[in-house]
Amino acid sequence: MKASSDAGLCAGCLHGRSIDSARGSRFWLCGRAASDGRYPKYPRLPMLQCPGFAPANAASG
């Protein structure tokens, strides 16, 4: 199973969500993909640059 640090930006993004499969694999789902076709639903990792990145801790501000 991949660690969060292996996901790059997705691990710390407000729109990123980890999905664990029944076979023990972890995927990262991009929430922006639901409303914006420019973003892949399951981005290739590690994601090092993303124009839609929003820090997850900024939502609590």
Is residue 54 included in any domain, yes or no?
no
Q: Measuring CA to CA, which residue among 17, 22, 24, 23 is closest to residue 2?
A: 24
Q: Is the pTM of this model over 0.85?
A: no
- Residue 16: per-residue pLDDT: 97
In tens, the pLDDT along 29-47 reads 999 999 999 999 999 999 9
- Domains held by the chain: number: 1
Q: Measured between alpha carbons, how far is 46 from 56 in angstroms, rounded to an integer? A: 17
Is residue 60 included in any domain, yes or no?
no
Domain enclosing residue 44, as ranges: 4-48
| DSSP summary character for residue 29 | E
Per-residue pLDDT for 6 more than 90?
no
- Sequence-ordered list of residues with C-beta below 8 angstroms from that of 14, at least 6 positions apart, any chain: 31, 54, 55, 56, 58, 59
Is residue 61 included in any domain, yes or no?
no
Higher pLDDT, 18 or 58: 18
How many CB atoms are located within 10 Å of the residue 17 CB? 12
Q: Measured between alpha carbons, how far is 26 from 3 in angstroms, rounded to an integer? A: 9
Is residue 53 included in any domain, yes or no?
no
